[in-house]
Amino acid sequence: MNTQYFATVARGLEEIAAQELQNLGAQSVKVSFTGVYFQGDRELLYRVNLWSRIIFRVLVPIAKVKSFNSQQLYRSVQQIDWAEYLDPDMTLAVTCSGKNKQLNHSHFTALQVKKAIVDQQQQAFGQRSDVDTEEPDLLVNAHIDNNRCVLSLDSSGGSLHRRGYRPAVGLAPLKETLAAALIDLSNWTPELAFYDPLCGSGTLPIEATMKALNIAPGLNRDGFGFQNWLDYDRDLWEQLLTEAQDQQKNHLEVPILGSDRDPEVLQQAQENAENCQLHDYIQFLHQNLDQAEPPAKHGVIICNPPYGERLGNTEELESLYKLLGDIFKQRFTGWTAYILTGSKHLSKKVGLRTSQRIPIFNGSLPCTLLKYELY
Ligand SMILES: C[S@@+](CC[C@H](N)C(=O)[O-])C[C@H]1O[C@@H](n2cnc3c(N)ncnc32)[C@H](O)[C@@H]1O
């Protein structure tokens, strides 16, 4: 039986996320703002959680109820039979997105939904679920849209950008999902060498290697929301895990490289690669950009140089962007290079003609992915 799902995704990545979902077998795929609707069975739900490189989470909508104000929301939520999804010995958390005139404080709205659920449990069983905001067994999302509220179960639990190989630290690392999306947008294929000469904590080379070796990005995660659900199908999940492990490759055709001048972030990159057992596949070099050399005749460079005041002063940044342009032109003939930046002013300093400019959001920051064909 097919169910309707909703994948949440970063702004601007809806179209490539839809393509990815289609490739994974999703049906009736429909793009929306920061999300993609699709249909499929339970196997697809598990498969998308395990294999998607670009989306944040998959929500399973269970009801759309009236929610003019908090009293109406409380009553509507109580009409849903929560025993179908939640035992009192399971923990619970509720998040809220969207708002209307009366329900304009998401924390309060979430509390109201939680209260309606646990009050129902208390009446029915004389016991109620404890709240655990860190690792709940059931994570409910309440999305307010005008006078309606869509209640969904979050099948992913934590966001899927947390692959499990990188601790939540670092200077300005790219989200893993954004790095994977940039690689997709570049049309890089594993027959081409890959190089990030400003690799920081190594997100781009690591995501490229995972793609090249056909490693499911969810394999290193601690767990997924649906694994704590009452209808969890362990056999199905284990079958998908075995299938993913069998499909993994153990050989790269071409070099994948990252380099950075900062020894500390490079150490972090090395550790991240070790955390996902990819350290034997990626070469990390401690060097300044001016020492960058192509590891093959053809290949793809993707990098995100710093561009904000926080990460460097203007003069220094201007010379970094100019150096990027010089190095591309002088040493990387036959390659295609991409720069993700949020600064128009700095992008002009590269001094090369772009063949494409793709608008992208890095979190809430509007950026552009600049493409350079280096003849
Ligand atoms: C915005 S961060 C890249 C983040 C990276 N994509 C990640 O996911 O962690 C920019 C990186 O450029 C490096 N960098 C800046 N100037 C450099 C230079 N001249 N040579 C080499 N690396 C440089 C910094 O050390 C920093 O790690």
At 68, list the tokens.
């003019």
Mutational pocket test of ligand 1: of 169, 207, 261, 338, the residue with most ligand atoms within 8 Å of the beta carbon: 261
CA distance 289 to 238: 44
202 Cα–ligand 1 center, Å = 10
CA distance 324 to 288: 11
At 193, list the tokens.
């060498």
At 264, list the tokens.
């500390």
Helical spans, DSSP H, in the chain: 14-23, 42-51, 70-78, 106-125, 176-185, 203-212, 234-247, 263-275, 314-331, 344-348
Nearest to 190 by CA among 205, 200, 174: 205
Locate the ligand 1 atom nearest the alpha carbon of residue 198 and give its number: 12
250 Cα–ligand 1 center, Å = 28
The DSSP-derived string for 28-39 is EEEEETTEEEEE
CA distance 43 to 5: 12
The dihedral sign for the CA sequence 68, 71, 73, 75: negative
Mutational pocket test of ligand 1: of 162, 198, 266, the residue with most ligand atoms within 8 Å of the beta carbon: 198
Tracing tokens 């594993």 back to the chain, one arrives at 190
Q: Is 105 left (phi over 0), alpha (psi -120 to 50) or beta?
A: beta
Mutational pocket test of ligand 1: of 163, 260, 286, the residue with most ligand atoms within 8 Å of the beta carbon: 260
At 267, list the tokens.
């150490």
DSSP state of 228: G
198 Cα–ligand 1 center, Å = 4
pTM: 0.95
Per-residue pLDDT tens digits for 27-74: 999 999 999 999 999 999 999 999 999 999 999 999 999 999 999 999
Residue 341 exposed, middle or buried by CB count within 10 Å (0-12, 13-18, 19+): buried
Residue-wise pLDDT tens for the chain (375 aa)?
789 999 999 999 999 999 999 999 999 999 999 999 999 999 999 999 999 999 999 999 999 999 999 999 999 999 999 999 999 999 999 999 999 899 899 999 999 999 999 999 999 999 999 999 999 999 999 999 999 999 999 999 999 999 989 885 556 689 999 999 999 999 999 999 999 999 999 999 999 999 999 999 999 999 999 999 999 999 999 999 999 999 999 999 999 999 999 999 999 999 999 999 999 999 999 999 999 999 999 999 999 999 875 556 888 999 999 999 999 999 999 999 999 999 999 999 999 999 999 999 998 899 999 999 999
Locate the ligand 1 atom nearest the alpha carbon of residue 203 and give its number: 8
314 Cα–ligand 1 center, Å = 15
SS3 label, residue 342 = coil
CA distance 69 to 73: 6
Report the DSSP pairing between strands 35-40 and 256-260.
Answer: unpaired
Backbone angles phi, psi at 300, to 5 degrees: -125, 130
Q: Which domains does the chain have, with CATH numbers?
A: 3-154 (3.30.2130.30), 176-213+255-373 (3.40.50.150)
Could you tell me the CA-to-CA distances from 187 to 166, 322, 325 in Å, in that order?
A: 25, 25, 21
Cβ–Cβ < 8 Å for 211, 53: yes
Pocket of ligand 1 (CB under 6 A): 170-174, 198-201, 203-204, 260-262, 265, 288-289, 304-306, 320
